[in-house]
Amino acid sequence: MSTFKTKRRQKVKWRIRKRVKGTADIPRLSVFRSNKGIYAQLIDDVNGVTLAAYSTKSIGATNNNVENSKKVGEGLAKEALENGLSTCVFDRSGYLYHGNVKALAEGAREAGLKF
């Protein structure tokens, strides 16, 4: 079952990445979710550079839940706004848009990041 899930997520991820590209002005907000935490980074695909990154480790959280995911989104948005980035494109990396991924996106939007 896990092999099917990972292959399905990889196919969806490739489909999303065909359409979503990040630039220096409008970076790509990439999300990675694991059992222990959630990680988000703003990526400039043209130059291959990470412009900002934030995770549950950055806030000192020991578990991965919706509240911590929202805090990660808010923290990433604050870091992006400090670097002069106000807009981005969202890359959910093949994960379904609910739960932790949705909480991260809503936290980033509430903190001022537009996508």
Domain with residue 23: its CATH number is 3.30.420.100
pLDDT band at 19 (very low <50, low <70, confident <90, very high): confident
Q: Within a domain: residue 34?
A: yes
Q: Average pLDDT of the chain?
A: 92
Domain residue limits at 104: 2-110
What's the pLDDT score for residue 21? 87
Q: Within a domain: residue 70?
A: yes
pLDDT at 1 over 80: no
| Domain count of the fold of the chain | 1
Residue percentage of the chain with pLDDT more than 90:
77
User: Are the CB atoms for 74 and 13 separated by under 8 Å?
Assistant: no
> Is the four-CA dihedral 44, 71, 82, 60 of positive or negative sign?
negative
What's the pLDDT score for residue 69? 95
Q: Within a domain: residue 11?
A: yes
Between 3 and 61, the more confident residue is: 61
Give the strand order in the sheet containing 49-55.
49-55, 38-44, 28-33, 89-91
What's the pLDDT score for residue 2? 65
Question: Could you tell me if residue 86 is left (phi over 0), alpha (psi between -120 and 50 degrees) or otherwise beta?
Answer: alpha
